[in-house]
Amino acid sequence: QSALTQPASVSGSPGQSITISCTGSGSDIGSYALVSWYQHHPGKAPKLIIFDVSQRPSGVSNRFSGSKSGNTASLTISGLQAEDEADYYCCSYAGTSTYVIFGGGTKVTVL
């Protein structure tokens, strides 16, 4: 099964809002409310920022929000800050055969 589809890059100015899409299929995102999002600064450990489509772990800024419609999940970062510049990956449960599938990653640039 192919990776979930994300835009390669998204950019925005400080204070703006950006949205990253993550498109899958009816076998993964479309069938399960089990989408998670990870922030990854190269050279560091990835960080969970959204789970179960729209839930934020304790300690994660409320500037991060998640949603899902059909086969597409989305991550919105509001009030963009310089520290948000990183790679972002979506991930979905994909059933008992494929199990877990990641997106191709999106590089967020703060202009």
Please choose, from the candidates 107, 91, 105, the residue with its C-alpha nearest in 3D space to the C-alpha of residue 1. 91
Nearest distance from residue 57's CB to other proteins, in Å? 7
- Residue 51's identity, in one-letter code, is F
Contact residues for other proteins, defined by CB under 8 A: 1, 3, 34, 36, 38, 40, 44-48, 51-52, 57, 89, 91, 93, 97-105
- Residue closer to other proteins by CB (options 13, 40) is 40
Q: Which is nearer to other proteins, 14 or 65 (CB)?
A: 65
Q: At residue 48, what is the residue type?
A: L
State which residue, 1 or 11, has the beta carbon closest to other proteins: 1
The encoded tokens of residue 47 equal: 């960080």
Query: How far apart (Å, rounded) are the C-alpha atoms in residues 37 and 103?
Result: 9
